[in-house]
């Protein structure tokens, strides 16, 4: 299994995404966070199809920190069931990956 992952999170808006990003990066659970301020989401919720505006957050971290990232995001998030998924980084710039390692806590 790969050591590095990106964690994709959707948030209700930019303010919530920024709050989550600052907390996760501040605690060194991720080396970096990118916020995509405006996305449209179409999804099933409580038996019907919904559509809403959201913001997306991409966190760069190590696989071993994902449980702590999930815990923190859930604590800070306004949604009942927030989207928090980790995707493995198969390959990449070795120096960037080492930077992720050096900037995240153990």
Chain centre to alpha carbon of residue 51: 21
Give pTM, 2 decimals: 0.94
60-78 pLDDT, tens digit per residue, is 999 999 999 999 999 999 9
Q: Band the pLDDT of 106: cuts 50, 70, 90.
A: low
Range 22-34 average pLDDT: 98
Strand arrangement, sheet containing 48-62: 32-45, 48-62, 4-11, 84-88
Residue listed under structure tokens 């930019």: 14
Average confidence score pLDDT of the chain: 96
The per-residue pLDDT for 1 is 54
81-103 pLDDT, tens digit per residue, is 999 999 999 999 999 999 999 99
């Amino acid at each position: 299994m790969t050591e590095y992952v990106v964690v994709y999170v959707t948030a209700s808006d930019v303010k919530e995404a920024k709050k989550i990003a600052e907390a996760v990066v501040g605690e060194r659970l991720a080396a970096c966070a990118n916020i995509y301020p405006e996305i449209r989401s179409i999804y099933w919720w409580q038996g019907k199809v919904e559509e809403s505006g959201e913001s997306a957050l991409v966190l760069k971290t190590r696989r071993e920190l994902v449980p702590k990232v999930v815990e923190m995001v859930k604590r800070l998030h306004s949604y009942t069931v927030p989207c928090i998924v980790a995707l493995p980084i198969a390959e990449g710039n070795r120096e960037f990956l080492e930077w992720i390692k050096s900037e995240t806590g153990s």
